[in-house]
Structure 1
Amino acid sequence: MARNRFAPDRGLTSRMVLTMFLLGLVYVVFVAVLVVVLRDAWPLALVIAGGLLFVQYFFSDRIALFSMHAREVTPEQAPQLHAIVDRLCALADMPKPRVAIADTDMPNAFATGRNSRRAVVCATSGILRRLEPEELESVLAHELSHVAHRDVAVMTVASFLGVLAGLLTQVGLRIGMFGGFSRDRDSNTGAVLLLVTLVSTVVYAISFLLIRALSRYRELSADRSAALLTGKPSTLAAALTKISGQMARIPTRDLRQAEPFNAFFFTPAVSGGQGLATLFSTHPPLPQRLDQLGRISRELGRY
């Protein structure tokens, strides 16, 4: 990873490393089961899942921009936006990513790209209209932290196991629906398909929860990095509060359409709620994010 001035967080880093270790452990066990049970057929599943990973990893920036109907903009087309990104990149000592705008009223921002050379930071037209320059700067600092820490690459690699398990689960269920588990077929084949489907379902569920936990840790880390880089945690808290409040004014249909991209966004289009629902959310609850920023503000006030 290229060196930059985004402050590290040992606590969050250790939790992310532990989560990645658990994902790797589940991955090893899952592949071992595939090798034993499927024998000659398991390489095909890995090749298909690997192909999906390849596309997602190398074309994540294009896919995200296309899906959000975003367009790259020049400094002449968006001088204020480029000026903020220029200042933050100089402050963080990192290469400047491409800059884009998504024409949607939903106030949000996201960053994508497997590395700093392929990165793009995108703001929606809705967030550009609603936030003050300092608030927008804090949000973009959060997104640039994702770029600096290569979060898109990390999450893409981490999701590989879930993609593979989900693929095998779907294949197993479809074969079962079309008679794959019937008594007329070879009993061993049916047992193998059933076992692979059950194992894949369990692995998918475990990896799903671990990936969501990893995503929440990375959002907290990006909040912290942005607050320390700009020295204005209260401004980031104000932006979070404002955007969350404005989300209620966006038509539900538009929010539902954007929900699949929650993992990319600064704040989710549809909140994951509280309690157990938090386990399935890509972002920490708003109170948790505000509490962390409040602690950082108090710490900065001591110096």
Structure 2
Amino acid sequence: MAKTRFRSDGGLTARMGLVAFLLGALYVVFGGVLIYYSGSMAIGAVIVIALGLGQWYFSDKIALASMRAREVTPEQAPELHGMIDRLCALADMPKPRVAIADTDLPNAFATGRSPKKSVVCVTTGIMRRLDGEELEGVLSHELSHVAHRDVAVMTVASTLGLLAGFITRWGMFFGGGRRDNNSGPALLVIWLVSLAVYAISFVLTRALSRYRELSADRSGAYLTGKPSALASALTKISGDMARIPTRDLRAAESMNAFFFTPAIKSESFSTLFSTHPSIEKRLEQLSRVSADLGRPM
């Protein structure tokens, strides 16, 4: 993490560290199985990893294109740039590029492979719905993601799942150089291990994502000193999301991991598979921050 004035949380950091350690252990085990059993399947693995790295390198361009967002200058969006300028000065961090997506979906996101190569994007829908303090709270959350290099962390964390998923779907078609009687059992072992690794890494990555969202809420609230404004923004956005047409929500669902709050929430196993904590959990944390600051919610 780059040195900024965003306040850290020892408990959250420890939980994120544990998840990262477990993912690393999975890498070691999975790598050992692949080395022992695979032949030309390694070529496919290299391709998948390369795609993951490409996603990380071009994450800002991919995200902006997905939302049909455009970068804006200080002359085009003076108030938005002014807020980000103040927050970046307060956090002592480089200013990211600024973009706006013309959609009624009330949301925001930050992406980019490093603080100096990042972009913060807000939708016209969120700008219409939130007042200045609420929007500032959302922006402080997104800038925390930038300062903590969350896009890089989540891309690296998800690469193992991408690799395991690839082998789970296609591994049975790759016999490598092994065409003897032992190739069948070897491929079955790889397929079963890949399936297990994909499932475990999926759950761990989602847990890491939820921790990072809580960390961004907490860091952003302490930076502005106005946790109630961020709580108000969360409440407004989650309430208004229900009035957005389902087709529009589903069109943006692929961006859920980036969004301030997800466009569509899964009803089943929501806690285990969700990219974001529940609204209730986020509001509860902000209430504790408010109490710590001596300010009522």
The answer as to whether partners of 1:110 and 1:264 remain within 8 angstroms in 2 is yes
Q: Which one-letter code corresponds to 1:284 in the other structure? A: P
The answer as to whether partners of 1:75 and 1:82 remain within 8 angstroms in 2 is yes
The answer as to whether partners of 1:97 and 1:117 remain within 8 angstroms in 2 is yes
TM-score (norm 2): 0.95
Q: How far has the Cα of 1:259 moved from its partner? A: 1.0
The answer as to whether partners of 1:15 and 1:217 remain within 8 angstroms in 2 is yes
1:191-225 CA-to-partner distances (Å, cap 9, x unmatched) read 22222111111100000000000000000000000
Residue aligning to 1:280: 273
Residue aligning to 2:20: 20
Q: Is 2:206 the counterpart of 1:207?
A: no
Q: Is 2:105 the counterpart of 1:106?
A: yes
Distance of 2:235 and 2:267 partners within structure 1: 15
> Per the alignment, in what secondary structure is the counterpart of residue 114 of structure 2?
coil
The answer as to whether partners of 1:35 and 1:42 remain within 8 angstroms in 2 is no
Point out 4+ residue stretches in structure 1 off by more than 4 angstroms: none
The answer as to whether partners of 1:6 and 1:92 remain within 8 angstroms in 2 is yes
The answer as to whether partners of 1:273 and 1:285 remain within 8 angstroms in 2 is no
Task: Mark the runs of 5 or more structure 2 residues left unpaired by the alignment.
Answer: none
Distance of 1:217 and 1:47 partners within structure 2: 29
Residue aligning to 1:33: 33
Distance of 2:79 and 2:265 partners within structure 1: 30
> Per the alignment, in what secondary structure is the counterpart of residue 120 of structure 1?
strand
Distance of 1:74 and 1:194 partners within structure 2: 55
1:94-120 CA-to-partner distances (Å, cap 9, x unmatched) read 110000001111000000001111100
Q: Which one-letter code corresponds to 1:126 in the other structure? A: G
Task: Mark the runs of 5 or more structure 1 residues left unpaired by the alignment.
Answer: none
Distance of 1:145 and 1:111 partners within structure 2: 9
Within 5 A, what are the aligned runs for 1:53-64? 53-64=52-63
Aligned length: 293
Q: Is 2:153 the counterpart of 1:124?
A: no
> Per the alignment, in what secondary structure is the counterpart of residue 159 of structure 1?
helix
Q: Which one-letter code corresponds to 2:254 in the other structure? A: P
Match of 1:296 among 284, 289, 297: 289
Residue aligning to 1:46: 45
Q: How far has the Cα of 1:42 moved from its partner? A: 4.5
RMSD: 1.6
Residue aligning to 1:261: 255
The answer as to whether partners of 1:6 and 1:226 remain within 8 angstroms in 2 is yes
Distance of 1:77 and 1:292 partners within structure 2: 35
Q: Which one-letter code corresponds to 1:115 in the other structure? A: S
Distance of 1:100 and 1:161 partners within structure 2: 31
1:259-284 CA-to-partner distances (Å, cap 9, x unmatched) read 1110000000012347x321000000
Distance of 2:266 and 2:277 partners within structure 1: 9
Residue aligning to 1:8: 8
Q: Is 2:219 the counterpart of 1:220?
A: no
Q: Is 2:136 the counterpart of 1:144?
A: no
